[in-house]
Amino acid sequence: MRWLWVTPLVLVAALIAGTAIGETPIPVDTILKVLANQLLGADYPVDRIDEGIIWNYRLSRAVVAACCGTSMALAGVVLQALLRNPLADPYLMGISAGASTGAVAVAVAGLGAGMLSLSLGAFAGALLAFGIVVMLAHAANSGVGGGRGVQAAGAIILAGIAGSQLFNALTAFIITKSASAEQARGIMFWLMGNLSGVRWADATLAVPAALFGLLVCLWHRRSLDAFTFGADSAASMGIAVRPVRGMLIIAMALVTAVMVSIVGAIGFVGLVIPHAMRFIVGSQHTRLVPATALAGAVFLIGSDILSRTLVSGQVLPIGVITSLIGAPAFALILVRGKRH
């Protein structure tokens, strides 16, 4: 566990890289001077344009990317443990799709008459989507807590796919019915994952949400170990199965909803990162949770760098980058897992 001491250094290095690398490269010493000016009240001479790019655009973007990557990856860890299914993640289980629908319903259709925030709308949509997925799985006579192995795994994944398609269709219907042409273009770009508009106001929401998700996972790391052997085994170890499972699902739905309301739905992070970290640090959640949190943050910062630099003069949706990287990576994980 000595490697845990280097995780802050790795995260800081990734944030600096996310700030320095772009269509216009910025020297690291300039970044450090801007940070000293902004955080410590120093008075280093720095070009105002560079300072604006670093502080108001790239650094806030890198911080939000790190929070989003951490949250999505941890949500994947929790869902895979609770459902005992290696394919479970917020995107595939319909949580991201439901959160997108809730956010769009508030932003475009005016759901809640101005009384609901974007994050609350996304949270309600995420919980509704996951509830429908669980009911569909139960209707297929398969429990989500274990007992029927392959049947339960297949049922929950098929239910998640059905729920995702349902809420994606609802989102498209709301956009078509209520959004103007300009709104529709912006929302469709946002739904694929968009960090272009994030600023420090978004970071003040993303950072507490990511820390909350991390602390919840660390606090329940022993319970997550027990759930990987099934609900019955967890109960035999003295864990209050229903309250703990319900709280973990609600916590991950909340964190996912906050991130989706800020950057849109991003796939493959919660699916690929936990698998990759299991190969490296093992399955014990004492090591898996912090390793996954760090890897998710670094992965999404790197994906954001690629989204800004891959095509000259254009910014790609970050969801496109994560899918281009995540799909072959997951295929490789599946092949290696089968061989072992």
Burial class (CB in 10 A: 0-12, 13-18, 19+), 314: exposed
pLDDT of residue 150: 46
Per-residue pLDDT, averaged over 206-229, amounts to: 93
**Residue 143: predicted pLDDT:** 45
Of 255, 265, 330, nearest to 293 by C-alpha is 255
Q: Is the pTM of this model over 0.85?
A: yes
Contact at 8 Å (CB) between 129 and 92?
Answer: no
The whole-number average pLDDT for the span 197-207 is: 90
Q: Is the pLDDT of residue 20 over 90?
A: yes
| Residue 265 near residue 99 (C-beta atoms within 8 A) | yes
pLDDT digits (tens, 9 = 90+) for 40-50: 888 889 888 88
Structure-token pair, residue 85: 């299914």
Angle at 102 between CA 101 and CA 107, to 5 degrees: 95
Per-residue pLDDT at 151: 54
CA 269, distance to chain mean position in Å, is 6
Section 24-28 average pLDDT: 89
Give the model confidence (pLDDT) of 82-130 as tens digits. Answer: 888 777 788 877 888 888 898 888 888 777 656 667 778 888 888 888 8
Higher pLDDT pick, 290 / 336? 290
Secondary structure percentages of the chain, helix, strand, coil, to 5: 75, 0, 25
